[in-house]
Structure 1
Amino acid sequence: MARPLIATKLFIPKVRRHVVTRPRLLDRLRRGTESRLTLVSAPAGFGKTTLLSAWLGGMEEDHRRIAWVSLDAADRDPASFWAYVVSALQTAVPGAGPSALELIASSDVSTESVLTMVLNDLAMAPTDVWLVLDDYHLVDGHGVANGMVFLLDHLPSHVHVMISTRADPELPLSRWRARGELVELRAAELRFTSEEATAYLNDVSGLDLSAVDVEALEQRTEGWAAALQLAALSLQGRQDVAGFIAGFAGNDRYIVDYLIEEVLEHQPEPVRSFLLLTSVLDRFSGPLCDAVTGRGDGTEMLTSLERANLFIVPLDDRREWYRYHHLFADVLRARLLNEQPGLVPLLHQRASAWYEHKDLMEEAVRHALEAQDFNRAAQLVELAVPIIRRNRQETILFGWLKALPADAVRNSPVLSVFYGFMLMVSGDLHGVEPRFEDAERALAAVPSGAAQPWAVTEELRTLPATIAVYRASLAQARGDAAGTSEHARHALALAGPGDHLARGAAAGFLGLAAWANGELSSALETFTQAVASLHASGNLIDALSSTVVLADMWLVAGRPGTARRLYQDALQLAEAQGESVARATAELHVGLGDIDREAGDLAAATRHLTSAGEFFERAPMTESRYRWFVARALIARAEGSPDQATDLLDQAEQIYRPGFFPEVQPIEAMRARIWIVQGKTSEAAEWAQTRGVSVSDEVSYLSEFDHLTLVRLLLAQNREHPDRGAFGQADRLLGRLLASAETSGRAGSMVEIRMLQALSQAFQGHRAQARGMLSMAFAEAPEPAGYAGLFIAEGAPMMELLRDAADHGIAEDHPQRLLDLTAPPKAQVPVPGYRLTSSAEEKLSGRELQVLRLLDSELSGPEIAQALFISPNTLRTHTKHIFTKLAVTTRQAAVRQGRDRGLT
């Protein structure tokens, strides 16, 4: 006797009120009108049923020939399954398959015969028919699949099947996919976008979250609809919304209950065990799973889990590496820790050993730390140091060292030394020397000829030379040029002929000490050798980064063209290496941007800084990151935004760390120069007093930038309150600075000094002498075209002097060229600063114009993103494109350009 049918299983679920409209998905479902099968396959809680019912509910009444079946586990019996299918079809298309329903219970009639009768009746239907099978995973199996294949292969063109399932069905999907007869929606498409998450959390749930909080929650849940719903439940009535979202994880009681009840408890024991054991892994492959679980079915199990949509995410196109959905992984780890806490360290140890065997040291160390196997972790860190140094991955190394117990670091000479180096990188100069002393004590504690308690590695062998190099760096950070040279020479004496890294670093510090002393010729020779040694050592990142310093030296020598060629050659090499040298690539872009700005090409300079910013985001920890903010500040000043420039210099000052390069252009003095141009002489005078800079100081290269800033201050003050005696002080200081620069061949310094001498004479009314000094300034410059920014930054007084020089035919065409650079472009409103020299302007897209117009308002960034229904990340991308196309670096400059061009 046939089981009676449950009528409610044939009802289309009603669409809940206030659901989020998802037109992008509804459009995908409309494509089902051209295919025989629409498959909606995703894990539990991704909104499959809601989506299908919403789409079907939106159909016009005349086209609602819909047969819906809500399946359950009892329908795995083919007779029950087909009875529901045929009954649903009869509801949608009266008269379809009455005879077939009578024959289903008969064991004498084949499924194909029954379905043939149904198909023949459906062929006579006057309009499209939709058969929806919800929760198909509960009935999937050979008993049902054979009939489904027959049905789908013989469907009339106006009949369509829709399947919602948590696991891909045992059907020939690839065949129908190849024929274009299959439309698929999977978890990746069903995930809520930022806009949809905002609509659900704020409009449907009434939470009124900020754009930042919505974005954080959307990222944490990875767009999983059920998780968003459960999070909304947890947020009801909470005061500390931001705090809850920051800590939201798989230990939330709603998430735990849902995943355990809906997913974990329904898995067979082998699958459940595999899920728990592999949950300690952030990413995994079949062989790694085998190593951790001790089983041999890892690859097959991962394939099965992916097919079953068990919250597993493929990480590559070859389906070799996977990860679990973050919240699912949280639940699995909590369950494992609750059921088998003693097993967790062993699983991490197995993972560490597998990664070490594969030479994947970062993961090997991390799992050793997770296992709290600190002796093994310390040994692995020692083995990883050469790679870390070569790739300049200080962030990773510092994290490991801080995670190790203090004794584990102190007992290892190698780790003690590199902990000291990392403290110096972070700006903690006082903690550096004790670490070096720890290393030397540990080395001395082992008797000569005795077996050493550490692995004898190349790092250990060269450790004495490395300590000397880092002591040279420490002396450099303290401004001790003599100490820098002493320790660098000691390092060279300790290093062997083939120790290229130690020799290169030592030579580099000798070059820096010579540079700090103003001995430019010696600095160039020594530092060029240092860069070559770093190349020979294979330490490409340090070699490329050191090119930045070498280029700076050539700029001081008055050779911007040579500096540009060095940058371009190094950048070409860096770009060929890709992401492995991202931080060096960023530094090279900053350097080239500075040269372009100084040459008067702000558009090119901005493009370089935009590129550098993108690389710095991927390699954030670098001792020269502050240079990017300085470069942006100088462009902002050139664009006529001095306040923005000083703000950027403030940011540069916050992240500046001494220790690697002489401080030849102090940030405080840069800020004072901007104040002077603004007429804020009292602020600049306070800087000079605080800094202790005076006209009676001994001159040196390290103090030259300060002294030239002081000269600008004196000239500005004397313009306000003329004082011939003060002019004389400025002229005498310039004379001493000029003599020092001439002695060491610093042609770049000589150009700036001559320029200021010309301004001083002009302010005193000595026009002929001023023109003569200006002529000498251009004559001192081997490459005058590279110094446009230096002259233009002096503002109106320099423009007047340049016009006078041009009228008198002084210095060939150089004065007129600078005047042309400051002239307003045709058909544009003049903009303070340089003329943009980009060859063609890119048009803003429609969305970029919308963003630009909202930038010209009082709205904050998150408020703009909310107004446009986009995520903050998307807003940042649009803003970056706007800045690049308008050749600006600040919001204020972009708004001003937009107004000038009639875009807002």
Structure 2
Amino acid sequence: MTIPIVTTKLYMPPPRLKTVTRHRLIEQLNEGLNRKLTVISAPAGSGKTTLVSEWLASGDRPFAWISMDEGDNDPACFLTYLFTALQNIDPNIGAGIFPLLHSPQPLPLESMIATLLHEIIAVPNPFVLVFDDYHVLKTGPLDDAISFLLERMPPQIHLVIATREEPRLPIARLRVRNQLNEVRASDLRFTYSEAAEFLETVMGLELSPENIALLEARTEGWIAGLQLAALSMKEQIDVATYLRSFSGSHHFILDYMVEEVLTQQSASIQAFLLHTSILARLSGPLCDAIFGESGIDSGSGQEMLEFLERANLFIVPLDSERRWYRYHHLFADLLRQRLHQRFSSTTGEDECILAELHTRASIWYEDNGLEMEAFHHAVAANDTSRAARLVEGERMPLLFRGGVIPVRNWLESLSHEELDARPALWVMYASALLMTGQVTGVEPKLVAAEKALQGLKQDARSKDTLGHIAAIRATLAVSKHQSEDIMAEAKRALEYLHPDNLPVRTATTWSLGYAYHLQGNRIAASKAYQEALSNSEKIGHVVITMMATIGLAKLQEADNQLHMAAETYQHVRKLAGSPPLPAACEAHLGLARIFYEWNDLHKAEHHGQQSIQLARQLEQTDRVVATQVVLTRLKLAQGDVSGAAAMIANAEHVARKHGFIMQMPPIAEAQVLLLLQQDNLTAAARLAQKHDLPLLQARVLLAQGNTSAALAVLEPLLEQAEAKQLEDERLKIMLLLAVVLHAHGDQAKAAQMLKDALVIAEPGGFIRTFVDEGIPMKRLLCDAEVYGTMPRYREKLLAEWKEEEPKREGGNSNLPHHVDSLIEPLSERELEILQLIEKGLSNRDIAQQLFLALSTVKGHNRNIFDKLQVQRRTEAVARARQLGLL
């Protein structure tokens, strides 16, 4: 479901046939093209839009034009029109972004602007981008996004902003850098000669030089004032007396002259102007709908619009076919003011007439597929029921189609009584808050909805509302990984939601799949993900399509189907668009895990950093922490023990601060591996037991030399993994069990376990799972009993050690053939310390570099001397060189 485009917003108003060419201003605009930004800032009626359109029409530089309105305060709407406008310059700009703009996730504006700039660099020719009526943008993030655009703009683009107010942009900095071209109200005022040409050529008046000078002085060269004065003077006999009769500010001059202009029009023209002033844009059929069955006295709506254009009555065509128009903004404001004055009686009857006009406009817009405009007019009509129905939408709520900001603002304006009368609006309010990241305000709105529902008879509508409440609570529980809460709320939601409410049912089905996934029920999870994926593709719910696909990729990864999982994660990246939606962080995290397993540490780190960058755009998420755990393992693999320690410490701090309880076991697992690397077995054992990590407990027992206890842990663990069909866990346990069996003296059983593991691991291309077991695994792979099993795969794994060992900080894990002459081989840590001894480091220096206690280093020294059968450091180095260890 895409955001509807009002194409007239992207058309530059065509220059009038009769006009005054502003040579001095056009020359100023041309000179400003070598700067980044042109700001044309002046009050309404100063001729800003007319000047820009005449300048662009007189030149040969291509341009993209956007006429801003209130709806553009929604980031999705703003981006939709920005990318659509720029496709007039290059049709490839933003092609991948449109399916993502109705996402329920807050859109990362800066990353989208960054991608836009990257695409603009490929545009060969310079062009102009125009933001007309920029003052209607009141959203801080959009100002930040435009500032970001200005700061990084390539030379191909020149930005023009026409506004009534000073834009909230880094104007002073651009001015200092000579990157700003400024056109102000004083520049736009007509000079005497321009005023004379305008009054004679455009307005058809023959005035004396004295009267022209008087009129120019009275209006201060203000174009709107000149035009209104000219219109009102056409029926005046004594022009000089008339000109002396008005004075004061622009507002009072306009107020007076509009009244004069209106009184000169026929009753039917006046009625048309007043009644259609409620419209931001006008077309013939829409104007006909405003007047309803009574019709327009002086012809059709199209005929009236063409007449007003010929009469110069402040109407601006918006396309070359003259199908759409708008009134001059200030003229429209004054017409609306008089409309409200006319329909503001104490009886309320006239107010009903005004509401009826808005209702007719709303009906026409809805019938023509423009639900957003229909919603705005329903709100203006105070028709809460109609507005609520439009917000809910038939297939996709208006919230998901670029309307989250205006809908939320409308809901905020309603009283508690109005919301209580329609409990579904409380739920929509909660949904809007959830979508804009205001999570703390969600639950109170849901409670209010439930309270309002208590007094109502339960029917299909109220049941659907209860289902929507449960669905939102399931979504909140998903962010906290609370499987039982997700399960309970999701099942309740699916029980109550109407069968036709596909958007909410689809999101809830995904939540249910996620709960099954957390509980280890992978079959049920896969079924739920498949159903959510099928439905989301039907209704165009891109985010749920992404999340369901991610869920399936995780299941493939857990089933050891790494190549298939990588392809699925890459497909998610395509779905996420460019720049990607923040939810794509999960795909990058999955790819980081897979490339780590394939021992492509460079790509693993790249995807890990991408995951963190995207995850930081989300609120209340633990994905940054989850990625840091993976990157900690990567740093350990690179031998960067200090970097690993710093990263996992930061991950633990963030997890505790934000209550990310689900991340504590993975953090503890990485910490245990780090402690094992530092030979701190006591702390490792304590942490593994505290967090109930049996696989890590077995590793600690192995490091302590207690192979019997390690076997007692691993053998039942393997049976459980096989019973539950947890293929990923099964492979990890088998490899560790093979190492423990070998250390326990059961070489035959160890070899068979490794051969079985090789058969399982080869299709997925597993590498790090083997390499991370260290030298004992390398010895096992060299065992004669394993030699004939999967020879190519086995040789590939052995080759990885040659690439692996130089990565380790100060380590030398090569095991030369001479090592076999030792009574007992040196451990990997002992070889690492031996090389540092060769470099001349003291015991204290070694302890600091390897993050070990000094007593631990001395203990390793004694073991090294005993195994090499020497007494001193120099003898140890010499003996090691003789054996080929150094």
What TM-score results when the alignment is normalised by the length of structure 2? 0.49
What TM-score results when the alignment is normalised by the length of structure 1? 0.48
